[in-house]
Structure 1
């Protein structure tokens, strides 16, 4: 028994290397893959040089030649980006496999540790079961009995050591799992960047081909080409941007509101509009409540004073005897919001609860804020827009509120991973991945990122590249 314990404890305390993730090649990866990391350095430098050429050409005068040169530089930059990201993915794939192997080893140690603890507890229980009468009547002599008692003392000590080591190994496992999650996120970012770059190459090649054909055939002057671009831009601005529960607005107005909010919060306009568009779609899908024709009214779909009172009675938890229970009182907040707008609570469209998913309804307007959350942002919206009372059904107010909230959720960095995480939190209140598994908001985050890319590529870029 003692030999087994010594072997197990030694095996559990073997050192495990933990390395941090860096922007290019982490030090451990560079030591393991020097050639691949050197190639990545070269590709990143090539990408940087290509971007410098794009920036230089931006300052040149307009014309067929300069536009074609600019498009060529953009294509070169995108292609260099694709090469560097493919290199990063190859390195990350190897690193992910190594991390997963470490986790498997640690998981194995945890299993062995639990088995050893069970064996020790059984042994301890056997020794504890001796009574004085059993000791006297036992066929063992006294020396054998006291050997067992010595084993009991050493077993107790080994048990304490084993618990400590098991906790240490579990902590190491969690650290490795967190590192693995970051590497998988980095891999997802690189793959998304490749898809974006491929589409940029496709669009720039098509535009370059068109300009070359026009220039060679002398069919149009450059001024006519610019006029065509301006006409396309005017059409994009005039397109209707559908919003939930209010009249659609022109895309040009939606973009202007988003750009103003972006200047204050740092959140990309395309990302703001993508969340707004998806929220309006989701809100329409879950159905409307509280309208005159609806069976469910606002009191039926929101938690109220009773729910919140029971939450407090239970010690700020809903795991108690008092029910119905909720950590918020949306009903009172909704009444305050409607009173501040001098509107009736009756008849105002609200989102219904999602069928089949536990939770409440009552989300308001195109940004789908619940009443208690809207109240948290009211003063910030008023300050940002220099207005009195913000209105959840006003598109400018809703877009501003959404940008402020997304910024607090981390989207102001304009990093792909942080944007997707902010979208997941906006939808579900939780990160995209929970304990290494997909969270309830992951599909929402993925869809929002796809919409943001489409809005940027098909609407915003054409307006900025006149």
Structure 2
């Protein structure tokens, strides 16, 4: 007797020890998940800052690129214009050189004419001089008096014409010389302009190369920012995915486990397990899909998608649900701004919680009843509590009567809040699932009996 008692005692202590050890391990695992989630959220927050900084730097470098491209384009146009001016200046200088050369030829021609006529004048003057050496009597006896006067008159006339012609030629020569001087001055001015434009073009080319180098460096810098941004976004997405995994319920039950909980709820509410499981399948795939959004702004009800960080409006209705939601999360020890809730559909608001997908304002109507049954605070993310809440709601809607019509009506009320036939598709879908689950449960019961 004592031996049996001792063995029994040891077994009991061992079992209790195992149970406590499992509880401790589960507690530690949950605590580790919370710590991991907090660490990931801190890392995500830092990454989001980095992403904003990278995006800011990309925008800055993009603007710098545009400015540099505009400057380079302007410099190219300016260099092209200066090059055209240089070519035009060279052409003018070349034409002026030809004009100067032609003018110099004309001047040289005038000089030769002047020298020729000067030589003729010299000969003429010599003749006059020789005549002047003859005596008047000799001239008169040799040529006659009339011839003398004629010759004198001819000399004077010729002399006058020669001087007039020389005067004209000198005037032309002086004009040509002045023209040449002006052309040379003009040529010199254009040559200076060509040189200045060449220097200006060289300077613009130097600046353009500097701007092109700056553009290349800016493009490389922007490419680095883009690579860093992609890496940060990739890491942020990985973190969001992991946070999403950690943010849901601890573990979705198997169908067998869910059936056992549904039978427990049936004893309390009278709602058939097949019907309850069909509702929970329609709502969250029995706890596998409990939402994909976080509430972030309690004033507007806006939030984000957990997996992408994309901002979403209408995550939770402020006037109806946010107050109750903050109270619920406080009671069960959850961070309201990192607890997953449903995202809004194309109409209405999101904010449904846990496997049963209750909105906060509806949950508070049932939490006292749940707590009175379980003896602890009602938790919408707890599998057993969420099953019980759904069973109580469905029973209130008439599902405990267990007829097709009553269950169909209860399903419609569960989705729409009242008998709104616009949403009859939901009730139809639930009842199809019920038929399948009735067969699955029958097979499960049969397997358990065997």
TM-score range for the pair, normalised by the shorter chain length: 0.3 to 0.5
Q: TM-score, normalised by structure 1?
A: 0.38
Q: TM-score, normalised by structure 2?
A: 0.39
**Larger-Rg structure:** 2
